[in-house]
Chain A
């Protein structure tokens, strides 16, 4: 874990060196995303929600964490061809390090989100403590999906494009700029939340941060179990494909 942490920390440092604004991009980039969506869906299209800015910020800022981490993790194996060809290391180390980078950035983004909610007049409640288990659950989900994306890109590079396309698809069906509760068909809504843990997590974040509701145990446990199941499956896949991944990455 020390190695993963230090790899992530130094990678973030290297990343910050590339840009004039350095670490400030951790905050600017998600803010700009929220700004663009706010301009389109509120200023131009009038969403009709009084709390649209907070609604959008909670959804978008947690979604960006997922989409950016998984997209970057997708390239983590082929992008570390040099290391994989030179050292006998567990291959999950590479997507894990990328996801860990995302975790560091997200801590700053959560601080930004809290500030924004306070500015919007939301009052912190005990329900806000749910943010910790929800963030841990999302981290596990990101890790599992990141590992899956990385091994798929090893199989065929075409999956790089499909992962990006998949993120756009998720953006539209996860209720980021629209409310999942607006789906009239209750069964369809439940199935969507069950099949799309990202949508369920966004719904949970909104419940605890905006509505102050702590009655989320059942929905949270479902997402947690889904995330753990995906992670366990991928850990097994990585164990089975340990040598295959090295050959595939080095000879591609």
Chain B
């Protein structure tokens, strides 16, 4: 197993108020772990613990305030995002197309992927209707189906498995597991023990500004 992503002493702090540079709030500090090929890491923690911020650092959206993040050559990291770039006035078809482009697909690949999205999200004739006619559940289904286009080697998943009704959630979970190759790694943020148990082989808890192994949750990842 080779390392895809390594965090060394990673810390993050924000200004107490976004419009004031003075006064720092430390979100977390001294985070160390290595993500290897095929790892399935779950991250839990109370609201505001910095789970999403940690994912954004891994996804190269934020730079850490302290420490270093090293991505292995050729490794692509991406947040699995629902409704990326969606616009209410556009149809499901148009939104699926733009979501594909935003996830790095070429114009042709994005067009070709539309039929599989249409089939997966089961919107029927609504797929060609403006999205402002959709219910929340329909939006979530379209969002998840579009998000499945993501082919990054490290997938960062922030609570997106909790969308739609029970039947769709199960379908989404199976689709995601089926899509993952043995080389891909995932980091899953979730409050659902069921999702963490089904998807992860290790779970860490982000509490009190540090990331610690959660007890009785599977094998530890390489430090």
B residues within 8 A CB of A86? Answer: 61, 79, 81, 84
CA distance A103 to B18 in the complex (A): 34
CA distance A110 to B57 in the complex (A): 45
Q: Is B222 an interface residue (CB 8 A)?
A: no
Q: Is B67 an interface residue (CB 8 A)?
A: no
Q: Is A49 an interface residue (CB 8 A)?
A: no
Q: Are A87 and B89 in contact (CB under 8 A)?
A: no
Q: Is B221 an interface residue (CB 8 A)?
A: no
Q: Is A247 an interface residue (CB 8 A)?
A: yes
Q: Is A252 an interface residue (CB 8 A)?
A: yes
Given contacts A3-B101, A7-B85, A13-B90, contact A248 B61 (CB under 8 A): no
Q: Are B89 and A14 in contact (CB under 8 A)?
A: yes
Question: Closest CB of chain A to B22's CB: distance in Å?
Answer: 15
Q: Are A243 and B63 in contact (CB under 8 A)?
A: yes
Question: Closest CB of chain A to B107's CB: distance in Å?
Answer: 5
CA distance A86 to B131 in the complex (A): 21
| Chain B binding surface, main DSSP class | loop
| Beta-carbon nearest neighbor of A93 in chain B | B102
B residues within 8 A CB of A85? Answer: 56, 61
Partner of A88, one of B14, B60, B101: B60
Given contacts A14-B87, A17-B130, contact A87 B101 (CB under 8 A): no
Q: Is B167 an interface residue (CB 8 A)?
A: no
| Beta-carbon nearest neighbor of B86 in chain A | A82
CA distance A150 to B83 in the complex (A): 24
Q: Are B61 and A251 in contact (CB under 8 A)?
A: no
> What 0/1 readout, one digit per residue, does chain B (67-108) give for beta carbons within 8 Å of chain A?
000000000011101011101111000100110011100110
CA distance A61 to B89 in the complex (A): 28
Q: Which of A1-58 contact B (CB under 8 A)?
A: 2-3, 6-7, 10-11, 13-15, 17-18
Partner of B90, one of A3, A14, A247, A250: A14
Q: Are B19 and A83 in contact (CB under 8 A)?
A: no
CA distance A14 to B84 in the complex (A): 15
| Beta-carbon nearest neighbor of B90 in chain A | A14
| Beta-carbon nearest neighbor of B132 in chain A | A17
Q: Is A246 an interface residue (CB 8 A)?
A: yes
CA distance A7 to B59 in the complex (A): 22
Partner of A83, one of B63, B85, B88, B94: B85
User: In the complex, how many residues of chain B place their beta carbon closer than 8 angstroms to a beta carbon of chain A?
Assistant: 30
CA distance A17 to B15 in the complex (A): 40
CA distance A250 to B57 in the complex (A): 13
Q: Are B59 and A83 in contact (CB under 8 A)?
A: no
| Beta-carbon nearest neighbor of B15 in chain A | A251
Q: Are A251 and B85 in contact (CB under 8 A)?
A: no
CA distance A251 to B56 in the complex (A): 13
CA distance A251 to B24 in the complex (A): 13
Q: Are B106 and A2 in contact (CB under 8 A)?
A: yes
Q: Are A10 and B87 in contact (CB under 8 A)?
A: yes
Q: Are B14 and A83 in contact (CB under 8 A)?
A: no
Partner of A7, one of B18, B81, B98, B107: B98
> What 0/1 readout, one digit per residue, does chain A (222-252) give for beta carbons within 8 Å of chain B?
0000000000000000000001001110111
Question: Closest CB of chain B to A97's CB: distance in Å?
Answer: 10
Q: Are B94 and A10 in contact (CB under 8 A)?
A: yes
| Beta-carbon nearest neighbor of A11 in chain B | B87
B residues within 8 A CB of A252? Answer: 18-19
Partner of B81, one of A15, A17, A87, A247: A87
A-B CB contact pairs (8 Å), 23 listed? A2-B107, A3-B102, A6-B97, A6-B107, A7-B101, A10-B87, A10-B94, A10-B97, A17-B90, A18-B89, A83-B84, A84-B61, A85-B56, A86-B79, A86-B84, A87-B61, A156-B19, A246-B62, A247-B14, A247-B62, A251-B14, A251-B18, A252-B19
- B residues with a Cβ closer than 8 A to A are 14-15, 18-19, 56, 59-63, 77-79, 81, 83-85, 87-90, 94, 97-98, 101-103, 106-107, 130
